[in-house]
Structure 1
Amino acid sequence: MRAAVLEEHGEPLSVQEVEYPEPTADQVVVETEACGICRSDWHAWRGDWEWMGISPSPGQILGHEPTGVVADVGADVETLSEGDRVTVPFHLGDGTCPYCQNGHSNVCETSMPLGFIGAAPGAFAEAFPVREADFNVTKLPDGVNFAEMAALGCRFMTAYHGLTDRAGLRPGDTVAIHGCGGVGLSAVHIADALGAVPIAVDVQEAKLDRARELGAAATINGAEVDDVPGEVYAANDGNGADVAIDALGIEETCQNSVRSLDRTGTHVQIGLSEGDTGGNLSVPVDQMTLQEIDFHGSYGMPLVRYDELFTLIERGTLQPEKIIGERLSLEDAPETLASMDDYETIGIPVITEF
């Protein structure tokens, strides 16, 4: 089968023939119908996350936002059959640890990040295996198509989990979203659809234009103002935001996010840092203490929350397809990934041809 393979960090992926996967007893093999290209793939491709123990070796197949059709079923798998339309979380859990058992599979003790380590080859390929398939693989409702499910795969669901579960978003809340890549635009759409008031911040007008199309009540070009938090206050009648998201993961956006909050506000960290930070960003702790600001992380979404998300999509309340940027072929993956050096992608690029 064909796959886009990492040969060296920072060098173009190589589209080549590799062996078709054979499932072990607990696995299924999924033939890929669509897979998003995410900034997390870019981080892995650059070799950013050695401090986390996630630095893919040569030969790794990236790709962690997949959806497809079950093609082969391991001997011990009980709930899945060939031909099932399915999706897979990027954080593959074991199904047995206390976190998996208590509804927090996204932070499983032995999580295997799909497409980032050799034991979990990714979905920039015609097919990929999935461990503990009875636990990790979810069947798609008829009303959810492959491309929009790939758009859900990491960024959309992380934004949804961050807003609804971590921040406790309520209708009428003001949400300042710092960074309008795929996850930031997903947050804009979700906040608007759930009755909140999104304020979008970025340094590229094209991305702010897209944010306005997705429901942003106000936009701020961070390259054109000296005081981003002050502009958030100005856009919100002199008040800080109730919720703020750092959707990029650099010190400037993290600090701007916290400083744009009103008293008792909630910051949600979604963007992960680049390699030279070692995973450390400074935050204004005095402000957080004196104003009782909450700081939360959001990483993927627990499997038990999928049904709620599917219901909102089937009703038309949420429309992840709106976040899709380009639809690509597998051959486009190397160039598209490299273009993220300059933040050139708008929305979520999705591979739909393998």
Structure 2
Amino acid sequence: MEVFRVLHMNGGAGDFSYANNSLLQLKVISMTRPIAEEAISSLYCSTLPTTFTIADLGCSSGPNTLMAVSQLIKTVENIRTNLCNNPIEYQVFLNDLPGNDFNAIFKALPNFHENFKKEMGADLGPCLFTGVPGSFYGRLFPSRSVHFIHSSYSLHWLSKVPEGLEENKRNIYMAETSPASVLKAYYDQFQKDFSLFLRCRAEELVDGGYMVLTLLGRSSEDPTSKECCYIWELLAMALNDIVSQGMIEEEKLESFNLPKYMPSPTEMSIEIGKEGSFVVNRIQVSKVDWHVYNNNDESNGLRAGGYNVAKYMRAVAEPILVSHFGEAIMDELFIRYGEIIVDRMAKEKPEFVNVTVSLTKMK
């Protein structure tokens, strides 16, 4: 599997598009906004730049992309106007892998500029946007050119599927039944990727620049804990059902593993310390209910909520699943997945765990 080519969210504006199924990601951005606002406020007050460069890594497409950036700019503008400083020129880099629906972002920019200018007033300086397709496990921007880097719900994706997962039978990610060699392979790949990510960003950030990263993770030190693996274990169950129905071959399932890792705060802190370019300002764990669309506990609301979970997982995972299993099974797979999720949510209240870290590049 060439992750660089197949990893992207569902584009467009259809029923299964990321644009229409990213309320979870929006909620997480809102939950972690105070950390980003604290960081960008501190950066502006300590440097007072006349040109401010912001990069959003793993921007995807849809309403969340420009919303996250606009909130960062608003925070700086509120401070700037209170200090009666001159207008700032903003340069915004929007990064994702080449398969991302950048066209949807570019089409949304004229309306965004018009509405944002009305909201912020005539004193707002130029806001210049650039799309930057490419992997963040490599260099993206010129040396010492970026002031602030933001990334939400992207960095848990690895650069590749780890090697040595042949014994991870009937699983698609780490699970309680995964042998120790599989857990080690995943952790080793995370270490390599996260260290490379930090080295590249250290080259690109100005001295004293900030970075705020939020990714799916876990509070437990157990990499197979339910809080990070459960949603994928249920998808594996649905895929095993599809195998039992003869819709795909068992060998096809056993050769599929996800290129992702959901770390603990300790694991992230260790790699940050080893790489040595950044100071950790704060690291925070937050949780959000799977049932993000509504909190109605009645059976009909719960059933709709379960299928909504399957829809937003489809918006995220479908392209990579199609690349391996083909498109023909997708409707049946996600119907079955939704049924499994509804059943589990009727018995428990599972949550996604988020790890957010605020970093400053050492001078």
TM range (shorter): under 0.3
Higher RCO (C-alpha under 8 Å, 6+ residues apart): 2
- Whose Rg is larger? 2
TM value normalised by structure 1:
0.26
- More helix by percentage: 2
TM value normalised by structure 2:
0.25
